[in-house]
Structure 1
Amino acid sequence: MQEAATGERSTLMKRGLIALFALAAAANGIYMLAAPLAWYGDIAGVPNTGPFNPHFVRDIGVAYLTQGLLLFWAARRLALATPFLIAVAIFLGLHALLHLWDVAAERLPMDHLIIDLPGVFLPVFIALGLAYWCRGERAGVS
């Protein structure tokens, strides 16, 4: 009886955390699509990356909105969550590598690594951690 309750709590926690992650990604994407200039000015470090380009910001907004939708689906279907979370981690990881490359090539200052920590690097580890946590979910359990 207690084992079933623990499993149910774990499932709810997984779904809740993935849904929060989804909400953050989707909100960022919607903000980028709806108000690209405001997003460009509001996000720390973004103006250092080059001149404002509304089309480019919206392109990336579509990627973040897609990420949010994948994550919402993962929260709903835990048995299928791991591949979705890995896909999100790949996108986020490649994005983080691009930021590292720009610092290494001296296109961005070294302090950009600290600026990018919460919004660029940490989400990679969140996605990987959630993918690891959700591995082995079964269709009947989720």
Structure 2
Amino acid sequence: MDFSRENRAVAAAVIAMVIFNGGFLLLNGLFMLIDPLAWYELVPGVTDTGFFNQHFIRDIGMIQLFLGVAFGLGFVNPERRIGLWAAATVWLSAHALFHFWEVAVGICAPSVIPRDFPAVTMPALFGILLTLWAIRRSRAQKLALA
């Protein structure tokens, strides 16, 4: 990835967010696929959402794995970056909004918001920031070539 004309702080933030989203989502997805029962028992708050269902956990694990791969591929493929990151971010944002909706309608207590933030809301926010950065960067590069 060429950051030659990028502010160093911005470049560091982009790299950190990609590493977080790509690494966390990929590893979490693998964990869900390899040992869904351990994932169910170890991740805070998951047991509060209902009974153990290995099929459902593995389904979501595949999604998480693919989202992590999308962030990694987008990092190394600038021409595909916007599409990969935007698609992943749509799912992450919908997932985060669903968690807020559960609080809004009384399914969950407001105390779940800070508990879920690192694994649910933060990846969505990082995805939004990364996608907006990629769009801005793509436009700037097109203008520079014009």
TM-score, structure 2 length as denominator? 0.81
Check whether the contact 1:15–1:78 (CA below 8 A) recurs between aligned residues: no
SS in 2 for 1:44: coil
Check whether the contact 2:17–2:126 (CA below 8 A) recurs between aligned residues: no
Alignment-mate amino acid for residue 109 of structure 1: A
Q: Which residue of 2 aligns with 1:73?
A: 73
Q: Which residue of 2 aligns with 1:116?
A: 116
What is the number of residues matched between the two proteins?
136
Q: Which residue of 1 aligns with 2:103?
A: 103
User: 1:7-26, aligned counterparts within 5 Å?
Assistant: 7=6, 13=12, 14=14, 17-26=17-26
Q: Which residue of 1 aligns with 2:126?
A: 126
| C-alpha RMSD over aligned residues | 2.4
Q: Which residue of 1 aligns with 2:92?
A: 92
Task: Indicate how the Cα distance of structure 1 residues 122 and 11 shifts in structure 2: closer, same or farther if over 3 A, else same.
Answer: closer
Q: Which residue of 1 aligns with 2:35?
A: 35
Separation of aligned partners in 2, 1:23 and 1:43: 17
SS in 2 for 1:110: coil
Identity of aligned residues (%): 29
What is the deviation of 1:114? Answer: 1.4
Task: Indicate how the Cα distance of structure 1 residues 12 and 77 shifts in structure 2: closer, same or farther if over 3 A, else same.
Answer: farther
Separation of aligned partners in 2, 1:116 and 1:134: 26
Q: Which residue of 2 aligns with 1:54?
A: 54
Task: Indicate how the Cα distance of structure 1 residues 106 and 54 shifts in structure 2: closer, same or farther if over 3 A, else same.
Answer: same
Task: Indicate how the Cα distance of structure 1 residues 39 and 56 shifts in structure 2: closer, same or farther if over 3 A, else same.
Answer: same
C-alpha distance after superposition, 1:6-31 (max 9, x if no partner): 44968974456424421211100000
Check whether the contact 1:18–1:71 (CA below 8 A) recurs between aligned residues: yes
Separation of aligned partners in 2, 1:113 and 1:8: 33
Alignment-mate amino acid for residue 99 of structure 2: H
Separation of aligned partners in 1, 2:59 and 2:127: 22
Task: Indicate how the Cα distance of structure 1 residues 78 and 15 shifts in structure 2: closer, same or farther if over 3 A, else same.
Answer: farther
Alignment-mate amino acid for residue 39 of structure 2: W
TM-score, structure 1 length as denominator? 0.83
Which sits farther off after the overlay, 32-41 or 70-79? 70-79
What is the deviation of 1:84? Answer: 1.3
